[in-house]
């Protein structure tokens, strides 16, 4: 009987550990015509009280539509003339959402901003974990994920078709010159 009690307690503790944080989905920003960069803009979580000195851990989810170089910038939002959060002792990491494999991690070296990037991520769903501490009551931060698509490399058949088309145009021009 004690085995079943231990099993129930273990399962309950494990489930509460998984429910300890809420993931926030970040939609891709609406772009402008001709701009092929992707951006995701977000701000810190509002599900907890932002008390000075309190440590925070926020989780965000974002979808990468195709293979891109990703960079992340986090900035403390000012309250008056003071920074609202400090990233020292924290930072961020990017992980695959499906299996939790870490893709990139950046430890903060400045209190008010953290930047890192140029990681190549394939198409898929990723998580962003952000950690730091509130410097002021009600402090918060903003962030942006910037994705730059990888330039496409043409397939050999496309290059052959281009060369065949150019040869055809050159042949027609040569024939017209002769006549």
90-141: pLDDT as tens digits: 999 999 999 989 999 999 888 888 999 889 999 899 999 999 999 888 888 9
Give the CATH class of 39-174: mainly beta
Alpha carbons within 13 angstroms on the beta-carbon side of residue 91 total: 13
Residue 107: CB partners within 8 Å, gap ≥ 6?
90, 91
Q: pTM for the whole thing?
A: 0.69
The ranges assigned to domains in the chain are 39-174
């Amino acid at each position: 009987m004690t085995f079943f009690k231990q099993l129930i307690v273990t399962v309950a503790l494990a489930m509460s550990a998984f429910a300890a944080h809420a993931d926030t989905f970040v939609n891709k920003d609406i772009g402008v015509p001709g701009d092929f960069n992707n951006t995701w803009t977000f701000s810190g979580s509002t599900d907890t009280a932002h008390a000075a000195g309190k440590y925070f851990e926020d989780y965000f989810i974002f979808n990468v539509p195709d293979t891109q170089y990703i960079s992340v910038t986090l900035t403390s939002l000012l309250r008056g003339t003071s920074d609202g959060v400090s990233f020292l002792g924290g930072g961020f990491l990017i992980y695959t959402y499906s299996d939790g494999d870490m893709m990139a991690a950046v430890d903060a070296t400045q209190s008010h901003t953290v930047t890192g990037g140029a990681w190549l991520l394939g198409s898929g769903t990723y998580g962003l974990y952000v950690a730091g501490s509130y410097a002021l009551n009600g402090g918060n931060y903003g962030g942006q994920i910037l994705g730059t698509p990888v330039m496409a490399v043409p397939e050999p058949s496309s290059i052959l078709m281009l060369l065949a088309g150019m040869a055809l145009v050159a042949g027609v021009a040569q024939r017209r010159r002769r006549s």
